Amino acid sequence: MAQKGTVEAPRDGPSAGVRPGEFEYVFPAIRGIQAGHEYYVTMCPLRLIPRLFVFNEEELPPEMRAQRSLNKARVPEMARYIVENPDSYTFSALTASVNAEVRFESLVGGTGPEERVGTLTIPMSATFVINDGQHRRAAIQQALLENPSMGDETIAIVMFIDVGLDRCQQMFADLNRYAIRPAKSIGVLYDHRDPMAAISRLVVSQTPLLSDLTEMESSNLAPRSRKLFTLSALHTATSALLDELEPDSLTERVDLAAHYWRLVAEQFPAWQQVYRGDITAGEVRQDFIHTHSIALHALGRVGNSLLRESQTPSVWEKRLRKLRTIDWHRNNAETWEGRATNAGKVSKSRTNVELTTAYIRTVLGMPLPPDEQRAEDGFTRGEK
């Protein structure tokens, strides 16, 4: 153990200042037991995070590291999120291992729950290894360069006592074993920062057919689901529809998009039949292309061009009526194979979206933009 001396911890976390001759950090902490081993939960000022958790494993081979390699492309976006939302950002706890002998002192005696609260003393010579949260750590470091005043804010840290590289690697594997990224639909549903997410939610809620037939939480529809669309698919399509379009008013943009999708819905009798309960949503999704995300995205891109030409609904309606002339059956291989389907299965690569959009534009008598023309030329030459 290092010579007696501490970095005193104020009420909201350890101090950034170090007194001469001090060799220990002292953290306010709560002690817990997991798998028969002690661990500690503490709070740490953001300004200390880059100093305590030094990432220097980039040159090591994977088998010698305790973490995956840092994906630097993720860091600027995460840092920008903190800097741009100083009053509402949320970061979950870091999980770390400490390769040192630590000392926990309870604030009170006894054996009740209160004895779990105390101070955790860690030598300054200790090495802190992040088991979960290295990208958050890098984002905090970058955010502090842009806004040093955030340094006194705190983040929770769960500390385990390190028992070697094998244990650290196992902890990383265990912490990520059951991690599942939330469905994009629920991300759109709960996102109150992104104006386009708000527009998408309002468009759905203000359009009775969409409101009734849109799955708001999952991004995948079960075969027996009575829904035709997912919120994530409509969000992508509506984003394409309104891309770089005036007006700027949220209300006007919602009204514009809602009117467009109502006109589109009128061109698909099967959508209306599902809405009325005459046929099942599963039958329509199984037999037709037009409810799938690739078709919605393509319709959004086509609509963007229509809205640029004119914001008069009667002009769009005249064009959109031609959607009824398209054979949308999935088994219409002559039209859709290689364009929207591969081996009969709907595919949504970038090229597939461009080819599907190009076909719809052609039927509607609209010119193709350069990217779609290139995709169409390659498709015609057999470069699928």
Q: Residue 20 pLDDT > 50, yes or no?
A: no
**pLDDT tens-place string over residues 333-374:** 999 999 999 988 999 899 999 999 999 999 999 999 999 999
What is the pLDDT, as a whole number, of residue 303? 96
Q: Which residues contact 261 (CB under 8 A, 6 or more apart)?
A: 203, 207, 210, 234, 238
Distance (Å, whole) CA 187 – CA 151: 29
What is the pLDDT, as a whole number, of residue 269? 96
Q: Residue 293 pLDDT > 80, yes or no?
A: yes
Residue position matching structure tokens 């995709």: 375
With H, G, I as helix, E, B as strand and everything else as coil, classify residue 31: strand
Mean pLDDT (whole number) for 214-232: 94
With H, G, I as helix, E, B as strand and everything else as coil, classify residue 276: helix
Mean of the per-residue pLDDT values for the chain?
Answer: 86
Distance (Å, whole) CA 198 – CA 183: 17
Q: Measuring CA to CA, which residue among 362, 383, 364, 365 is closest to residue 374?
A: 383
Q: Which one has a higher pLDDT value, 374 or 125?
A: 374
Q: Residue 21 pLDDT > 60, yes or no?
A: no
Distance (Å, whole) CA 122 – CA 20: 17
For residues 235 and 216, is the Cβ–Cβ distance under 8 A?
no
**pLDDT tens-place string over residues 59-92:** 445 554 566 677 888 999 999 999 999 999 999 9
Distance (Å, whole) CA 64 – CA 44: 28
Q: Residue 278 pLDDT > 50, yes or no?
A: yes
H or E element in which residue 275 lies: helix 269-276
Which own/partner pairs from 139-142 qualify as long-range (CB within 8 Å, at least 24 positions apart)? Answer: 139/75, 139/78, 139/79, 139/81, 139/82, 140/46, 140/49, 140/50, 140/79, 140/82, 140/91, 141/49, 141/50, 142/75, 142/76, 142/79
For residues 320 and 264, is the Cβ–Cβ distance under 8 A?
yes
Boundaries of every domain in the chain: 24-177, 184-380
What is the pLDDT, as a whole number, of residue 62? 57
Phi (first) and psi of residue 209, to 5 degrees: -65, -45
Asked which of 1-5, 108-112, 155-159, 190-194 is least confident by mean pLDDT, the reply is: 1-5
pTM of the predicted model as reported, rounded to 2 decimal places: 0.77
Question: At residue 308, what is the residue type?
Answer: R
Mean pLDDT (whole number) for 186-212: 94
What is the pLDDT, as a whole number, of residue 65? 59
Mean pLDDT (whole number) for 219-224: 91
Q: Which one has a higher pLDDT value, 31 or 180?
A: 31
Say what percent of the chain tops pLDDT 90.
Answer: 64
Size (the chain), residues: 384
Asked which of 48-62, 95-109, 235-249 is least confident by mean pLDDT, the reply is: 48-62
